[in-house]
A and B are shown apart, each in its own frame.
Chain A
Amino acid sequence: MSTFLEILSPSYLLFPALLGTAVLGLVCPLIGSYLILRRTVFLGLTLPQIAAAGVSFTFWLQQTGFLPQWQQGERGIGMIGSLLFTFLGMGLLGYLEQRRKGIAEGRLATAYALAGALTILFIVFNPAGQIEVLNLLKGEVIGLSKGDLRLLAAVFGLVLVGLVLFRREFLLSSFDRDLAFLLKGRQIIWDVLLYLLAGVSIAFGVILAGPLLLFGFLVLPALAARPLVNSMSSFLWLSSLLGLVMAVFGFYSSVRLDLPLGPTDVALGCCLIFLAYALSRISPRRALGLIVLSSVALWTYGCGTTKATAPLPEAKALNNETLWLAKVKNSTGLSLLLPGTNPLRSLAEMAGKISSDYRQSVMDLLRDDLRRELEQRGFRVTLPEQTDARFSAFPVEPASAGRLAREGKLSGLIFVSEILRWEADSRQFVRVSADFKLIRTSDGSVVWERRIQRPVPTPSATNLGQAYTDSVKEVVRDLFAQ
């Protein structure tokens, strides 16, 4: 299990994703602060949805042949759609605002509903790429490559520079438009520049992080900072700092608890808002005490509760007892079958002529690799079904596994495994959560146990089958690592 310090190490596998989240956490709240103060916070929700509609639209165009397949990959084409729709949406909303057509909230709500509907419709029109588009719209920041990170840093770095350079102009045109006109002339240039920076951030952020996470970073840190500050400068830096806290601790919680990053970050951001309002109601001394206590608790949560994992005992230390390797239990609710390699058999399977049993599953691969590894370590490995064909997967609960083994007259040790999650989020990672236990059959005591719960990188995989195969090898390597 990863500790807090581990995820901060540049050698950590998901370090690029953590950096990407941190960049979003630092910069997005600055834009969100202005959206909140200008009372256009709903724009921060509507624009990401419009950007998402742009992504699904360009994929649909590509699928119908109106757009060529692009060498730069899915994200490149998605970004074009995202940028195009964001700026078209902003232009249209700006035009309607100028013409004073309807009420502002009504326009934004309509645009949000329409963009949401279009996003789904374009996905439905594009069944070939449905999963890819949905994955892109989910914006799993965890799949950020180094190239993506460089792009993210460049775009958000420019946005940050713009926000810092023109902070006085943005503040003046947001707070007192009349004074802004007297001192700086027509303030439309500052409005355009601010919304341009917001639009660029949203268009890129949606494709790299997804609408939910982006909206969370835009508004939640700023809303949490608001009750704690008495000046604009402290409001901006505290928003940014809370965004960073939300990014880092949200990321850590997501990795540690095996939760999706977007909802975890948003939930943490909402907790920060409640905490901020609670702090604002007590004296500064008590607030400081509470912050110190919270920091200690977070630090303890991050560093103090990680159990050291014991290596698998050597075969000699276990008196060379027979080791029964049970079938791997699949508790995911998914078949976890590898795609077939024979097109004729696949066609026959689709036509219902043959069952899918001929295909290997992740459970089969995992058991094969476990067996090989255990035998290399000197264990006498035997399969339970060789003595009784009725043996299926064993439960991982030690007492039940021991009892079942005794009933089947299996003496010695039994190795049980259970897959809780084996999910390819993108082609670069497979999210794995699996339990492994070595149980003494005589009394059901646990000799050794280990849980693997982490995103497993599969950088060279070009299809799902390869991603599953690579992830199994990585998990077994991790399982027996000293």
Chain B
Amino acid sequence: MGQDVDAIQNARGRASKDDSLPLVSVQNVSLGYDSEPILQNVDLTIYPGDLIGLAGPNGSGKTTLFRAILGLLPILNGALSRNCPLSNFGYVPQSAALDAQFPLSTAEVVEMGAYGRVRPYEFFPAAEKRQIGEVLEQVGLRHLAAKPFFSLSGGQKQRILIARALMVKPKIMILDEPLSGVDEDSRKSISELLIQLTRLDGLAIFFSSHDIPMVRRVADRLLRVDKGKIWWEKKEMELDP
């Protein structure tokens, strides 16, 4: 990882957990499909400003945990609570999971993030249109607004999906493998963006990757998952002296 990331990491302030409610609290939860548990005894609390990495090999259950937190998958047992509505969750799926058959422009993809606030019979408000430009600016891709989304590179697509999640005006962002299938420059810029969002905007970010060294470098706290087991490798944010 480049020096820029380290610089931002070092400049990061301490996120106070004592005076705020957790956004998500997961206690002793088991997750799986058709009553078959994939992950058991999951304990996790996400506070505003957290930057938590979830590292593990492909197929270890990272996406399953995300889907449970987002309410897309029922938990098998345990307790899962959210202190903000689901519409405050910004979700960034893997871009490969989206259907390239759709003829969507980049701006149209970002616009979707505002659909929760716009009623069916309403025209798309001018303020929301301005917001599209702003979030595209934030991810550094305003010039690509009119381009077809699926013609972009892997890194550009990931940043556009982050812009879409920002369009939701989230309190917490969940990113599924945001750094997979992207080139080194894009990995660097996406990592910087994630750190910036927690540092400057106070967003909670929970992201996954199978690249464990990279997650160690970017995340404040690191949750490891493998072979049905989940454990904290770095539970508390380590501050520089």
Residues of A within 8 A of B (CB): 36-37, 39, 165-166, 168-169, 171-172, 174-176, 178-179, 181-184, 226, 229-235
Asked if residues B87 and A175 are in contact (CB atoms below 8 Å), the reply is no
**For the complex, would chain B's binding face be called helix, strand, loop or mixed by DSSP majority?**
loop
For the complex formed, measure the closest distance between the CB of A233 and the CB atoms of chain B, giving whole angstroms: 7
C-alpha spacing A44/B120, complex, angstroms: 25
Taking A181-B71, A181-B72 as contacts, is the C-beta distance between A175 and B115 under 8 angstroms? no
Cα(A229)–Cα(B91), bound, Å = 27
Residues of B within 8 A of A172 (CB): 112, 115
Q: Which of B71, B91, B118 contacts A168 (CB 8 A)?
A: B118
Q: Which 10 A-B pairs have the closest CB atoms?
A: A183-B116, A231-B105, A230-B148, A235-B103, A182-B86, A229-B103, A165-B120, A168-B115, A166-B120, A232-B104
A179 vs B67: C-alpha distance when bound (angstroms)? 11
Residue of B nearest to A184 (CB): B116
Q: Does B54 contact A (CB under 8 A)?
A: no
Instruction: Give chain B nearest CB distance to A260 CB in angstroms.
Output: 33
Q: How many angstroms from the CA of A184 to the CA of B115 in the assembled complex?
A: 8
Min CB–CB distance B20 → chain A (angstroms): 22
Residues of B within 8 A of A233 (CB): 108
Q: CB < 8 Å: which of B87, B91, B105 contacts A178?
A: B91
**B65-92 contact mask (Cβ, 8 Å, vs A): 1 or 0:** 0010011100000000000001101010
When the two chains form the complex, which single residue of A165, A178, A183, A231 contacts B115, counting CB atoms closer than 8 Å? A183
Query: A residues within 8 A CB of B72?
Result: 178, 181
The residues of B with any CB-CB pair to A shorter than 8 Å are 67, 70-72, 86-87, 89, 91, 93, 98-99, 101-105, 107-108, 112-113, 115-116, 118, 120-121, 146-148, 164, 168
Residue numbers in B under 8 Å from A230 (CB-CB) = 103, 105, 146-148
By beta carbon, the residue of chain A nearest B71 is: A181
Provided the pairs A165-B121, A230-B148 are in contact, do residues A182 and B89 lie with their beta carbons within 8 angstroms? yes
Please measure, in the bound complex, the distance between the C-alpha atom of A133 and the C-alpha atom of B108, giving whole angstroms.
46
- A183 neighbours in B (Cβ, 8 Å): 87, 115-116, 168
| Set of chain B residues within 8 Å of A184, measured between Cβ atoms | 115-116
User: Are B121 and A178 neighbours in the complex by a CB distance under 8 Å?
Assistant: no
Bound together, the chains give a CA A171 to CA B102 distance in angstroms of: 9
Smallest beta-carbon distance A410→chain B, Å = 69
Of the listed residues B72, B98, B120, the one surrounded by the most CB atoms of chain A closer than 10 A to its CB is B120
Contacting pair B91 A37 (CB below 8 A): no
* Beyond A182-B91, A232-B102, 10 extra complex contacts between A and B, CB < 8 Å: A36-B101, A165-B121, A172-B112, A175-B102, A178-B91, A178-B93, A179-B112, A183-B115, A184-B116, A231-B104
- Contacting pair B103 A226 (CB below 8 A): yes
Report how far A154 CA is from B164 CA in the complex, Å. 38
Contacts of B87 in A (CB 8 A): 182-183
Which residue from chain B places its CB closest to the CB of A174 in the assembled complex?
Answer: B102
Closest Cβ–Cβ distance, residue A229 to chain B (whole Å): 5
**In the complex, chain A residues whose CB is within 8 Å of the CB of B116:** 182-184
Question: Assuming the A-B contacts A172-B115, A182-B87, A231-B108, are A37 and B102 also in contact, with contact meaning beta carbons closer than 8 angstroms in the complex?
Answer: yes
Question: What's the minimum C-beta distance from A337 to chain B, rounded to whole angstroms?
Answer: 56
| Chain A residues, CB < 8 A from B101 | 36-37, 39
Nearest-neighbour CB distance to chain A for B89, whole angstroms, equals 6
Nearest-neighbour CB distance to chain B for A283, whole angstroms, equals 17
In the complex, A175 Cα to B115 Cα: how many Å?
A: 13
Nearest chain B CB to A431 CB, angstrom units: 41
A176 to B115, Cβ gap below 8 A?
no
25 A-B pairs whose Cβ atoms sit less than 8 Å apart in the complex? A36-B101, A37-B102, A165-B120, A166-B120, A168-B112, A168-B118, A174-B102, A176-B98, A176-B112, A178-B67, A178-B70, A178-B72, A178-B93, A179-B112, A179-B164, A181-B71, A182-B70, A182-B86, A182-B87, A184-B115, A230-B105, A230-B148, A231-B148, A233-B108, A235-B103
How far, in whole Å, are A234 and B98 apart by their CA atoms in the complex?
A: 20
B40 → chain A, closest Cβ, in Å? Answer: 24
A181 contact set on B, CB distance < 8 A: 70-72, 86
**Nearest Cβ distance between residue A200 and chain B, in whole angstroms?**
18
Most buried by B among A37, A166, A179, A232: A179
CA distance A318 to B38 in the complex (A): 99
B120 with A169: CB separation less than 8 A: yes
- Minimum CB–CB distance for A79 against chain B, Å: 29
Nearest CB in chain B: distance from A100 CB, A = 11
> Is B99 a contact partner of A37 (Cβ separation < 8 A)?
yes
A461 to chain B, nearest CB (A): 48
In the assembled complex, which residues on chain B have CB atoms less than 8 Å from the CB atom of A229? 103
Residue of chain A at shortest CB distance from B87: A183
CA–CA, A231 to B168, complex, Å? 21
Residue of A nearest to B93 (CB): A178
Chain A neighbourhood of B147, CB < 8 A: 230
Distance in angstroms between the alpha carbons of A179 and B116 in the assembled complex: 9
Q: Which chain A residues border B120 with CB–CB below 8 Å?
A: 165-166, 168-169
In whole angstroms, what is the CA distance A39 to B102 when docked?
10
- Chain B residues contacting A165 (CB-CB under 8 Å) are 120-121
Q: Chain B's nearest CB lies how many Å from the CB of A75?
A: 33
For residue B121, which residues in chain A have a CB less than 8 angstroms away from its CB? Answer: 165
Q: Which residues on B sit within 8 Å (CB–CB) of A39?
A: 99, 101
In the assembled complex, the Cα of A178 lies from the Cα of B71 at a distance in Å of 10
Report B-chain residues with C-beta under 8 Å of the C-beta of A37: 99, 101-102
Interchain nearest-CB distance for A173 vs B (Å): 10
Q: How far is the CB of B1 from chain A (nearest CB, A)?
A: 29
**Shortest distance from the beta carbon of B97 to any chain A beta carbon, whole Å:** 9
- Chain B residues closer than 8 Å to A176, beta-carbon distance: 93, 98, 112
- State the CA gap A226–B100 with chains docked (Å): 12
Q: Which of A39, A231, A234 has the most CB of B within 10 A?
A: A231
Which chain B residues lie closer than 8 Å to A171 at the CB level?
A: 112
> CA A176 – CA B72 in complex, angstroms?
13
Please measure, in the bound complex, the distance between the C-alpha atom of A8 and the C-alpha atom of B75, giving whole angstroms. 62
Instruction: Give A36 to B87 CA distance when docked, in angstroms.
Output: 29
Residue of B nearest to A180 (CB): B115
A174 contacts across to B, CB distance below 8 A: 102
C-alpha gap A67/B67 in the complex (Å): 52
A232 touches B70 (CB 8 A): no
Contact indicator B104/A175 (Cβ below 8 Å) = yes
A182–B147 Cα distance when bound, in Å, is: 26
Least Cβ–Cβ distance between A242 and chain B, in angstroms: 14
Closest to A190 in B: B120
Partner of B99, one of A168, A169, A175, A234: A175
Nearest CB of chain A from residue B35's CB, rounded to whole Å: 16
Residues from chain B with a CB closer than 8 A to the CB of A226 are: 103
Min CB distance, A327 to chain B, in Å? 61
